Structures are given as C-alpha cells and as structure tokens.
A and B are shown apart, each in its own frame.
Chain A
Amino acid sequence: MFLSRKKHSKDFAKDRLKTVLLSERMDCSPQMMIMMKNDIIQAVSKYLPVDEKNVNLRYVAAIHLLDAQISIHNITESERES
C-alpha cells in the first residue's frame, strides 16, 4: 500500500500557525513573508536544486535569528561532475 498519506486537518492547523506566528513574531505582514520566502528560494535556486515544498523559516526572538531550512534535491555524482 503506497497511497500518498492523506493530509490530516491538524497538519493544516500546524502549517497555518507556523506561517502566521512567524509573521507576527517578526512584525512583518504575511504577504511580505511569502514574498521573502520566494526570493530566498529564487536566490538559492541559482546555485542549488531547491526542494521548494520543503523550505521552512523560523524566527527565534530571544536571539533575533531568522533560521531558514532549505531542502536541496539529491545531487547525484553525475551532476556534480558535469
């Protein structure tokens, strides 16, 4: 059975909360956050194959840190050599 896992309602809740809290913690509108995220993806994509669905931004207020986790598609040997 390899049916793709159905997204549960709690996953929507979690994703939505992460986005809205990031925007509120940084005092930056949700629209601006999405634009910034897209710009980050674009910039990194120039150099690496970014897995766009797995890019997570996190803001750590205590140390004023914006932490971006950017998943990269597997870079095979052949691609590295070329």
Chain B
Amino acid sequence: MSEVIVITSGKGGVGKTTTVANIGTGLAELGKSVVMVDTDIGLRNLDVVMGLENRIVYNLIDVVESNCRLKQALIADRRVEGLFLLPTAQTKDKSAVTPEQMKKLTDQLQEQFDYILLDCPAGIEQGFKNAIAGADRALVVTTPEVSAIRVADRIIGLLEASDIHNIQLIINRLRPDMIARGDMMTVEDVVDILSIDLIGAIPDDEQIVIATNQGAPLSGKDSLAEQAYRNICRRIAGEEVPLLDMTVKKGFFARLAGRFKGK
C-alpha cells in the first residue's frame, strides 16, 4: 500500500521542511521506501536540510516537462537505504506546473514507493494547490503560537474543501519551561482549538538545528525531538503507539521543566 502525504502549515517557518526531512529519514529507517518531493518551486530548501544540495542534476520541473526520466531526477540518500529526494527547480515559479501534472507525478511515484512525502510551500495559492493535488493524507504542522494556529485552521478548512479528510496535527517547538509557567499553550490546548487528531508533538530542541547545520536529519540520536519524530514515523506506518505515549512525553516535559527551574 502506497500513501501520498502532504506536509503543510500555511505559515512559513514552523518547521515543515525539517519535519519532512526527519519523517522521511525515520520512515526509511523503519525499512520503508520513501521519496521526499520538494514542491516549493523557486524556493528550494529540502535539499540543503537533507545535505543533498550538491547532487542535484535534474528536478521536478524537468520530470514534468519530460526533459528527463523520473529515475534520473531522483537522488538516493546514501546514508539510509530506500530514501530518495526529488528536488524542485530554483529558477522557475509556482505556475510552472499544474495540479494535474502534480497528480500525474505522484501517481507515477506511487508505483515505486511506500511513502511519497510532499513538502508544501507556505501560503494558500498555486503552490499549495499543486502540492495537495495528489495527496491522500495531510500532516498539518503548527507551533503553539496564535499566528501559526490561526493559519493552520484555515489550511485544515481548505484541505477538507479539497476532499482530503485524513488530516493529522503535528505541534512543533513546544517549550516545556514556558508551558510550566503558563506562557505557552499546551498540546491539549492546541488540539482543543483546532479539533483534529494529533499525530505527534515535538519539543523545541537545539539538536534539530545542529542536525540541520550538518545536513543530517535524525543524527543526534538521543535528542527528545528526534524521539518524537521517530514516534510519529511509527504511527504513520500504522503502529499503535498508544495514547500513553503522550503522558510519557508529558513526563519528559515535566522533568525537563523541573530541571530548568532547578537552575
């Protein structure tokens, strides 16, 4: 069974690309075949986050315009077996492809991969419409801030209007210390406001910045954020990582918050 998952947020800078990189790597580590597609035409970024920027020859537009075969544009990640990147074009704009062409592309990718992860651009215009065209499922990334949540709600509405009903939430950059002080909305608060299913919550973690600096997602093996991403991957793959897990994570948060207070 192959699944096309769009990772979207509406607002920029909440961690979409980082999430795609980490989930892509995590799913491949679980033994799945995964392709990550950068659909942010003109603002290529997934390649640098993955550390694959020097290996780009062809891109998504070349495939769509039949300048090359699909296989030629796919970049294999040499660190994890089964992980591929389809980079986007840097010199074109969002109107260079149509939703129909994107749908055709994802259909083609479904023949080869277990998971097709689409890194969606910020905004709700053409780029967003292209990215969601072929998707069966959506992961909406937000942070516990009013601006990101407001836009996430709009995005959820637009996804539903486009007949994508399998939508789950990722809450990124949670700060346990601020939550403990009552200065940041909790996971429960955000889920309550957006009223969609949660698939994972990621703490704000400097290891993510370090891993991104090195172009190597999931390389700081023991960091909390990476554990959270691995849990999300297991849930995507259909494993029942029970609700208890959130309480465990809360335990982590509480302990971490306690440590901050102690200092």
Question: Hey, which bits of chain A sit against chain B, CB under 8 A?
Answer: 8-11, 13-14, 16-18, 20-21, 24-25, 60-62
Contact of A14 with B183 in the complex, beta carbons under 8 Å: no
* Contacts across chains A and B counted by CB atoms under 8 Å: 39
Contact of A8 with B181 in the complex, beta carbons under 8 Å: yes
- Assuming A16-B146, A17-B149, A24-B153, is B160 touching A9 (CB within 8 A)? no
Contact of B157 with A61 in the complex, beta carbons under 8 Å: yes
Is B154 part of the contact surface with A, judged by Cβ < 8 Å?
yes
Task: Give the distance in Å from the alpha carbon of A24 to the alpha carbon of B152 in the complex.
Answer: 12
Contact of A9 with B153 in the complex, beta carbons under 8 Å: no
Give the interface residue-count category, chain B.
10 to 19
Q: For A20, what are the chain B residues with a Cβ–Cβ distance below 8 Å?
A: 150
Task: Give the distance in Å from the alpha carbon of A8 to the alpha carbon of B146 in the complex.
Answer: 15
6 A-B pairs closest in CB distance? A8-B182, A10-B185, A9-B183, A21-B153, A13-B146, A17-B193
Query: What would 15 A/B residue contacts be, using CB atoms closer than 8 Å?
Result: A9-B183, A10-B182, A10-B184, A10-B185, A11-B182, A13-B185, A14-B185, A14-B189, A17-B150, A21-B149, A21-B150, A21-B153, A21-B193, A25-B153, A61-B160
* Majority-rule SS of B interface residues: helix
Q: Could you mark each residue 186-229 of chain B with 1 if its beta carbon is under 8 Å from any beta carbon of chain A, else 0?
A: 10010001010000000000000000000000000000000000
Q: For A60, what are the chain B residues with a Cβ–Cβ distance below 8 Å?
A: 195
Task: Give the distance in Å from the alpha carbon of A14 to the alpha carbon of B149 in the complex.
Answer: 10
Q: Could you mark each residue 166-188 of chain B with 1 if its beta carbon is under 8 Å from any beta carbon of chain A, else 0?
A: 00000000000001011111100
Task: Give the distance in Å from the alpha carbon of A11 to the alpha carbon of B149 in the complex.
Answer: 14
Q: For B182, what are the chain A residues with a Cβ–Cβ distance below 8 Å?
A: 8-11
Task: Give the distance in Å from the alpha carbon of A13 to the alpha carbon of B150 in the complex.
Answer: 11
A68 to chain B, nearest CB (A): 16
Q: For B157, what are the chain A residues with a Cβ–Cβ distance below 8 Å?
A: 25, 61
Name the residue of chain B whose CB is nearest to the CB of A20: B150
Q: For B195, what are the chain A residues with a Cβ–Cβ distance below 8 Å?
A: 60
Contact of B193 with A14 in the complex, beta carbons under 8 Å: yes
B143 to chain A, nearest CB (A): 12
Q: For A13, what are the chain B residues with a Cβ–Cβ distance below 8 Å?
A: 145-146, 185
Contact of A8 with B183 in the complex, beta carbons under 8 Å: yes
Contact of A10 with B150 in the complex, beta carbons under 8 Å: no
Q: For B181, what are the chain A residues with a Cβ–Cβ distance below 8 Å?
A: 8
Name the residue of chain B whose CB is nearest to the CB of A11: B182
Q: For B186, what are the chain A residues with a Cβ–Cβ distance below 8 Å?
A: 10
B91 to chain A, nearest CB (A): 36
Name the residue of chain B whose CB is nearest to the CB of A6: B182
Given contacts A8-B181, A13-B146, 4 further A-B contacts (CB under 8 A): A10-B182, A21-B149, A24-B154, A61-B157
Which of these, A11, A18, A24, A62, contacts B193 with CB under 8 Å?
A: A18
A27 to chain B, nearest CB (A): 10
Q: Could you mark each residue 94-124 of chain B with 1 if its beta carbon is under 8 Å from any beta carbon of chain A, else 0?
A: 0000000000000000000000000000000
